[in-house]
Amino acid sequence: MAEKLMQKVEMEELEEEEEEVEDQLEDWDDWNSDEEDSDRGFICLFCNMKYSSTETLFEHCSSTHHFDFQSIRESLGLDFYGCFKLINYVRSQVAENRCWTCGLTCQSNKDLLNHLHEPVSLGDSKNFWQDDKYLKPYMQEDSLLHSFAEDEDGEDDCTTSVDREELMKELGITLDFENICIDDGNTFDLVCSKPDTNDENVRKASSSASSSLFNVGDQLEKAMVDLIETKDNIGFTHKRQEDKHKRLQFAETVAKKIKNANENYFGSYSSFGIHREMISDKVRMDAYMGAILNNPSLLNGATILDVGCGTGILSLFAAQAGASRVISVEASHKMASVATQVAKDNGLLWNGSFTGGNNQCTGVINVVQGMIEELDESLNIPPNSVDVLLSEWMGYCLLYESMVSSVLYARDRWLKPGGAILPDTATIFVAGFGRGGTSIPFWENVYGFNMSCIGKEVAQDAAQLPVVDVVDSHDIVTNAVVLQSFDLVNMKPQEMDFTASVELEPKSGHPGDNHTDLQPKITWCYGVVLWFETGFTSRFCKEVPTVLSTSPYSPETHWYQTIFTFREPIAMASGKPECNGMAEIGTETCPAMKIQSRISIVRAEQHRCIDISLETVGICCDGRKRSWPVQIFRL
């Protein structure tokens, strides 16, 4: 009687578990249907056509645009990240009307679509998208980036043999021997369930049934077929989970890279050498000291937030100017300790206590260790309670180090409406430089020996890597123009990435000009140089506004200038020289009257670095133009 009762209970449990499996499969089907209903389609890499599946999209790209994604992936052995980069690379090139395989820039998207062709050498093309910057999605909400692996998953399902243990492990399923019902050794039912090693009944049933399992080989094969069919039913869910896992892996990789970059970046500021260099920069210190100490109406009695205080020198100036409270934030553990000790040694460290009965704090500077984005974890500052936001955030080429984003974060969270930012403006300038701005002259005469072969090689390397160095004002051969301006009161973080076009004309009367009274003035432009200025304007510094300039025409600073060298120098001429219509523009027989430069500066995938692209066009006196291949630099 008891045995029959137990069998009845087991059968009821079996039926309940079967119902649960069916419910799960129905839920998966509903999920599948919902996902398909919400699918917004996949946009073509080259035109505006939209497709409901990646398969039809790639068929279109192959037949219409000569882009065979599957063939490229297989021939180059691209993994998930390689395919991810390729898609972003192609989209970025098409946005610039540039052929993804040969690099030719077309006048319009229509011209580009007519130009597209089969890649000549895939092996050479692969290098184009190796840069990790293409791990950043070029197009927002690009559904293709999360779906291109679908076809690959399908092929694996068809071609890969099914291993029993691997399949069971993959599905997260184990055989529940408690629910294997053997009837006369001919038939049995198999229920799939999650493992439950704590179930005593399972262990007992497994033991009692083990002797009968030797005779059910055929039934086990049938059960494996059922499992495979189950896998087909839940394949969509499994793929979604796999895609989610890949995305999480990708996000974790990016987060780890950012963390490492931040640690290296802030760690580099633990060296006293770099702080001595910055404090010894007279132009830098005079500008900040003047803005802080010479504008009492701004600083006296104010609450100051110093972002990236370093040694705390600017915070000391703010305290000296009469600030009632200075919150000094420094991410480097070592320098935060140093700034604390410096403030203490100068009697300016706030310790949260009052002295005697005069109700006065012992100091006003409160040093907080950590990134500004994590300040809330260490200190409770009411939102919009800071009067003045102070920071020396500028890097080479202004935007290197990307610290301005931290300043904007602090502005949006803690600065009062109408509060001041020091400095409050920033401007990038560009000009062309001549032969003296390169290292070529140095190597032509080394203690009387000709080493020009070294100079040529160095110049070739400079056409690939930016150079941070001093450019003498006498070596500037064109007018200087504004490339981009920023107003930190209204600036948005995405404005750090920009593209701007400028037109450069040769300076007249340049001492390096090679001419006679009968010849046009020829000037050779070897590249462009960038520098910046930051302004402490009268908007906030009403008594004494000031400017910090890193121009070649100003005293040298520790920022120097940033040099981008052309692959070949361009001849320029002022006035209206005679042009040889058969000669190439930019040569001595057909000098350019103007150089048009299109410069893009964007934050690189490598955290705190920036990528700079340089497109150059020479225009001669008869209006003809010559374009040089785009140059990509990373700073």
> How far is the C-alpha of 386 from the C-alpha of 391, rounded, in Å?
13
Residues 382 and 496 in one domain: no
Which one is catalytic: 36, 152, 155, 401? 401
> How far is the C-alpha of 347 from the C-alpha of 520, rounded, in Å?
67
Residues 363 and 448 in one domain: no
Which one is catalytic: 16, 18, 35, 392? 392
Residue 133's nearest CA partner among 495, 614, 604 is 604
The verdict on residue 604 lying in a domain is: yes
> How far is the C-alpha of 350 from the C-alpha of 332, rounded, in Å?
20
Q: 625 and 617 in contact (C-beta within 8 Å)?
A: yes
CB neighbour class for 561 (10 Å; exposed up to 12, middle 13-18, buried from 19): buried
> Does 270 have pLDDT greater than 80?
no
To the question of pTM greater than 0.85 for the whole model, the response is no
Residues 573 and 629 in one domain: yes
Confidence of residue 161 (pLDDT cuts 50, 70, 90): very low
Domain end marker among 365, 398, 422: 422
C-alpha distances in angstroms, 37 versus 144, 150, 285? 16, 18, 61
The verdict on residue 90 lying in a domain is: yes
Domain span at residue 324 reads 272-422
Q: State the CATH number of the domain containing residue 448.
A: 2.70.160.11
For the question of residue 401 being annotated catalytic, the response is yes
pLDDT mean across residues, the chain: 78
pLDDT tens column, 399-442: 887 789 999 999 999 999 999 999 999 999 999 999 999 888 99
For the question of residue 252 being annotated catalytic, the response is no
The verdict on residue 30 lying in a domain is: no
What pairing do the DSSP bridges indicate for beta strands 325-330 and 187-189?
Answer: unpaired
Q: 527 and 565 in contact (C-beta within 8 Å)?
A: yes
Residues 401 and 522 in one domain: no
pLDDT tens column, 434-471: 999 988 899 989 999 999 999 888 888 888 889 999 99
- Two structure tokens written together for 540: 């906030």
> How far is the C-alpha of 573 from the C-alpha of 593, rounded, in Å?
5
- Taking phi over 0 as left and psi of -120 to 50 as alpha, with beta for the rest, 268 belongs to alpha
pLDDT of residue 504: 95
Q: 537 and 555 in contact (C-beta within 8 Å)?
A: no
Residues 352 and 450 in one domain: no
Share of the chain above pLDDT 70, in %: 69
Domain end marker among 148, 170, 186: 148
The verdict on residue 401 lying in a domain is: yes
> Does 235 have pLDDT greater than 80?
no
Number of domains in the chain: 3
The verdict on residue 558 lying in a domain is: yes
Planar angle of CA 579, 582, 587, nearest 5 degrees: 60
Confidence of residue 260 (pLDDT cuts 50, 70, 90): low
Bigger pLDDT: 88 vs 578: 88
The verdict on residue 219 lying in a domain is: no
Residues 379 and 403 in one domain: yes
The verdict on residue 168 lying in a domain is: no
HSE at residue 382, side-chain half, CA atoms within 13 A, is 6
Q: State the CATH number of the domain containing residue 288.
A: 3.40.50.150
Domain end marker among 374, 406, 422: 422
Residues 395 and 477 in one domain: no
pLDDT of residue 238: 60
Q: Report helix, strand or coil for 270.
A: coil
pLDDT tens column, 478-517: 999 999 999 999 999 999 999 999 999 998 754 444 444 4
Residues 470 and 386 in one domain: no
Residues 284 and 369 in one domain: yes
Residues 391 and 374 in one domain: yes
C-alpha distances in angstroms, 586 versus 345, 384, 574, 583? 61, 55, 13, 9
pLDDT tens column, 554-613: 999 999 999 999 999 999 988 776 677 788 888 888 899 999 999 999 887 776 788 899
Bigger pLDDT: 169 vs 423: 423
Residues 48 and 118 in one domain: yes
- Taking phi over 0 as left and psi of -120 to 50 as alpha, with beta for the rest, 141 belongs to left
Residues 405 and 501 in one domain: no
The verdict on residue 10 lying in a domain is: no
